[in-house]
Amino acid sequence: MQRTINFIPILNTLDSIQRKYKKRYCYPGQQTILKLLKAYHQEVLSLRTLNRMLRKLEDSGYLKRTRRIKRIASGENQFQTTIYVLRKKAYILIGKLLKKVAHSVVSAFAAISAHIADDPLEDPLPPPGEKWLSQDDNLREARKVIASFKPKRRS
């Protein structure tokens, strides 16, 4: 069974690094990207899969990669980490996701507020016959929303 590829965590990770250092670019190492994906997005990828996904993002126009090579004293080339620059298309995609998440939060808050307004002494519980989603169900639903934002293939 082939796993569905989700590009949003990679874009979000690169965007977070750029925001942290207040730059329009970043140059994390591949191992650093993998660690951050595992820590903040629970995504465990191989190095080859990460490179394949970065290539697809670049080919789709979501980011620009620039390899950095430095000539050392002995005349040999020394490779440094690649510079990543997110393009406008990536920010639009991230914005759409945030808008969808914000809309979900607002509608959930409105539902809870309406329930509390009906009976302020009662706990904010779902109506009979319905149930709150568990944390795992919420995570599953969020992944479905994120998965719906896949980069379009270029012909």
- For residue 116, tell me if it sits in a domain: yes
pTM: 0.65
Range of the domain at 86: 8-147
- For residue 1, tell me if it sits in a domain: no
In this structure, the number of other CB atoms found within 10 A of the CB of residue 64 comes to: 14
- For residue 155, tell me if it sits in a domain: no
- For residue 153, tell me if it sits in a domain: no
Calpha distance 90→151 (Å, rounded) = 9
Where residue 47 sits, what CATH number does that domain have?
A: 1.10.10.10
* Per-residue pLDDT tens listing for the chain (155 residues): 445 568 899 999 999 999 999 999 999 999 999 999 999 999 899 999 999 999 999 999 999 999 999 888 898 999 999 999 999 999 998 888 888 888 888 887 777 777 666 655 555 566 666 666 666 777 777 777 776 665 555 55
Calpha distance 108→83 (Å, rounded) = 40
Question: Which amino acid would we find at residue 43?
Answer: E
Closest to 94 measured CA to CA, from 1, 11, 4, 6: 11
Could you give the number of structural domains in the chain?
1
Largest CA distance in the chain: 78
In this structure, the number of other CB atoms found within 10 A of the CB of residue 26 comes to: 22
